[in-house]
Chain A
Amino acid sequence: MSTSATEREPRAAESAPDRGRTPRRGWSDLPSPLRHLLFAALALAAVTGLLLVTGDLTALRMAAVGYTMLAVAGLQLLTGGSGQVSLGHGAFMMIGAYTMALLVLNLPMLPLAVNLVLVVAVAVVAGIAVGAATARLHGPYLAGATLILAVGLPGLTHRYHEVFGGSNGLTVHTAGAPPFLQGLVSDSEWKALVVWTAVVLALAVLATISTGRLGRRMRTVRDDETAAAMSGIPVGGTKVTAFVIASAAGGLAGGLQVYVLGTATPSMFTLALSLTLLAALVLGGIGSMWGALWAALAVVYLEIWLSDAVRAFDLSKDVENNLPIVLFGVLLILVLRFQPLGLHGILQRLRALLRRAR
């Protein structure tokens, strides 16, 4: 009954360094960034295909899966990778979301790509500020400090009402499909495509980092800080870097969310959001980027299915609003108790069984 950590280690260790010397066929022969970019292109093609055969509603949901996945992947790198528990991931999504909204409102001439780059830049700056301040905190202390961030940050929107719009938040209009594609794809489909393009690019970056040198360093720090320090790894720097990368992912996810939904309110970024992201991560499978996909699917679709179920059984609004939260909490506890590797662990085991059967 060990955590994902140790069991995945051999694969991580064998990855980069000896790959150049021992030529293997095909896929794993490519350098890691290229491999991840190719994979990203494949994923994007798959998403486009899916979008073409489904309707507008699915497009919005797929967009939601996209940015949620990015947020969870950032948390994956931080918690699964470097072993830091952050309860403030929602806060970085909020920073990204409000940055995006403010950019669209105040500098409408900027193109979306520039906006997204600026969103990431702001999230990186915020990540550096928080990460540097919390670099010395470990385990429960970091969780406590980021919990305070998650609870405290939404309050600022009330404090600076004229900028952030208080509890009503900010509402923006973002451009849909470009004129020459009008009639070919709907606005929602276009937005989903844009979201997924940004998401797969960001994921390729995250995957490259996590399979590269920095990723190995983070895992070493996670497993034993003292040993890491003794083997010459800058522990503090590695932890802050992980924090900053995770913040950037969270911020970009928040920015994309505003791009799709057109609104940013403090009630979107409660402590429950941060907790749900963490729960989803554990549920999907901590320690693997694939886990983030299962996690995002779970966050988006569990909510939808539960809402349908609640309506089917004619239960109250209170139940409908809270059932997903309760279910995530319960699943989180059950997964930790009985299946610490999450859904990804189950799938891996099934795959191994199939391979043996063959």
Chain B
Amino acid sequence: MDHFVDLTLSGLASGAVYAALALSLVIIYQATRLVNFAQPAIALIAVYTAATVAPLTGSYWVGFVAALTVGAAAGALVERFVVRPIARVSQLNGIIVTLGLLLVAQGGVGMIWGNEQHGFSYAFDFVGRPSPADVFALVSVAVVAALLFCLYRFTPLGLRMRAAAFRPEAARLSGVKVGLMLTTGWAISALIASLAGMLAGPPFISPNVFDIVFVYGITAAVVGGLDNPFGAIIGGLLVGLGMSYVSGYAGPELATLTALALVVLVLSVRPDGILSRPTARKV
């Protein structure tokens, strides 16, 4: 029973991270119908920024802010100068270019900091269940999700971004700078991915540290529906719990393949995610 409670609590904490990653994927998917496989690359850049800045300044939080800032800036720049001109041509090229970015980031980080693991500290104490670090993960992701909701629902910027995503041409005719909105969306998405990286990175970071985390993030987004932000959050928590139980009772190596089975299962029943309303497939 104790083991079960432990697994549940840790599952929720990691689920918060997957929810954040899934949410960051959904933001981009909604705007451009592109799954951004470069998201772990952004998270990678963010944590290595933190790992460099924090020791220099002696403050975890300066590193934290630097990580999120650099991550968001990287997202914006990549969208504007790399992804936009290429993804315009075809969806296939869009997917492939984000994969190229992932290669560059993983290799680049390895070139600078090496392929071996580096220690990376938690924001708060990680001992206990729930540990302060777990609580921080849950609370920070909840706060980000709430802020995001308010931004989209209640602010002029949010209205512009939604209009640009749904009907870019109509939005332009209403004076919305659609390109700028895309870049903003990527920046926000990258910010959230950076936060997810800061939460998922500890205790050790290496160029491949986010591969598995990203796998669960994608699983969460697929389960929740790639264009459903609420689905992404619920999907993240569900995947976090599920993977925690599978790892705890059956072994961690089976968790990824369970995720694969889950994705395949969900998509064969509901091609747009279990939380989506079934709609006619667009032709």
Tell me which residues from 136 to 185 in chain A have a Cβ below 8 Å from any Cβ of chain B: 136-137, 139-141, 143-145, 147-149, 151-153, 155-156, 158-159
| Contact call A333/B86, Cβ cutoff below 8 A | yes
What's the Cα separation between A155 and B257 when bound, in Å? 9
A28 at the interface (CB under 8 A from B): no
What's the Cα separation between A318 and B108 when bound, in Å? 10
Given the interface contacts A275-B102, A276-B103, A323-B111, does A141 sit within 8 Å of B34 by beta carbon? no
| Contact call A139/B91, Cβ cutoff below 8 A | yes
| Contact call A326/B103, Cβ cutoff below 8 A | yes
What's the Cα separation between A309 and B214 when bound, in Å? 34
A322 at the interface (CB under 8 A from B): yes
Question: Using Cβ atoms and an 8 Å threshold, which residues of chain A touch B283?
Answer: 226
Question: Using Cβ atoms and an 8 Å threshold, which residues of chain A touch B107?
Answer: 272, 322-329
| Contact call B263/A145, Cβ cutoff below 8 A | yes
Residues of A within 8 A of B (CB-CB), count = 53
Given the interface contacts A318-B110, A332-B100, A333-B97, does A147 sit within 8 Å of B218 by beta carbon? yes
| Contact call B92/A85, Cβ cutoff below 8 A | yes
Given the interface contacts A136-B271, A340-B93, does A322 sit within 8 Å of B111 by beta carbon? yes
Tell me which residues from 1 to 59 in chain A have a Cβ below 8 Å from any Cβ of chain B: 1-3
A104 at the interface (CB under 8 A from B): no
B159 at the interface (CB under 8 A from A): no
Q: Which 8 A-B pairs give the minimum distances between C-beta atoms? A: A152-B256, A325-B107, A329-B103, A329-B104, A140-B35, A326-B107, A159-B253, A322-B110
CB distance from A351 to the nearest CB of B (A): 24
A125 at the interface (CB under 8 A from B): no
Chain B residues touching A, range: 35 or more
| Contact call B256/A155, Cβ cutoff below 8 A | yes
What's the Cα separation between A152 and B35 when bound, in Å? 20
| Contact call A336/B96, Cβ cutoff below 8 A | yes
| Contact call A149/B111, Cβ cutoff below 8 A | no
| Contact call A328/B218, Cβ cutoff below 8 A | no
| Contact call A275/B103, Cβ cutoff below 8 A | yes
What's the Cα separation between A2 and B265 when bound, in Å? 35
A-B contact sample (5 more), CB < 8 A, given A140-B29, A271-B211, A329-B103: A136-B267, A144-B263, A145-B264, A155-B257, A340-B89
Q: Could you name 30 residue pairs across A and B whose Cβ atoms are closer than 8 Å? A: A3-B89, A85-B92, A87-B99, A134-B264, A139-B95, A140-B29, A143-B95, A145-B260, A145-B264, A147-B37, A148-B215, A151-B211, A151-B256, A155-B253, A155-B254, A159-B254, A275-B99, A278-B99, A321-B115, A322-B207, A325-B103, A326-B111, A327-B107, A329-B107, A332-B96, A333-B82, A333-B100, A336-B93, A340-B89, A340-B93
